[in-house]
Amino acid sequence: MTIKLSEEERAEYNRVIWHSRRGMLELDLVLEPFVKNHYLKLDEEGQALYRRLLLCEDQDLFNWFLKKAVASDVDLAAMVEMILQYSRSQAK
C-alpha cells in the first residue's frame, strides 16, 4: 500500500523518522520499524500522539518499552502498548 503525501506531509514524515532515531539501540529497534511501516496508517490523532511520545525523555521511553514502568499519561501508555504489539507482530 503506497500512501501519497504532499511535499509538506513528506517533510513532516521525514522529521518524525529523524526524531524516532534516539541513539539508544533498544529504542531504535522498536521505534524505527514502527514509524517507517505503521505511522502513516495512524489517523491524525494517532500521529499526533506518536509525535508527543517522541518529546519524552529517552530514559522514560526505555523504561516504558522494557515494561520497567508505565507512562502516567494513559494516552502515551496506550501508544507504547501499540508500538510493542506492532514490534511483537513483526518478530513472528
Q: Residue 42 maps to which CATH number? A: 1.10.150.250
Classify the phi-psi angles of 23: left when phi > 0, otherwise alpha if psi is within -120 to 50, otherwise beta. left
DSSP state of 68: S
* CB of 27 closer than 8 Å to CB of 62: yes
What's the domain range around 41? 24-91
Distance between CA atoms of residues 45 and 12, nearest Å: 15
Residue with cell 491524525: 44
Task: Tell me the pTM.
Answer: 0.91
Residue 39 lies in a domain: yes
Distance between CA atoms of residues 43 and 22, nearest Å: 24
Q: How many domains would you assign to the chain? A: 1
| pLDDT tens track for 41-72 | 999 999 999 999 999 999 999 999 999 999 99
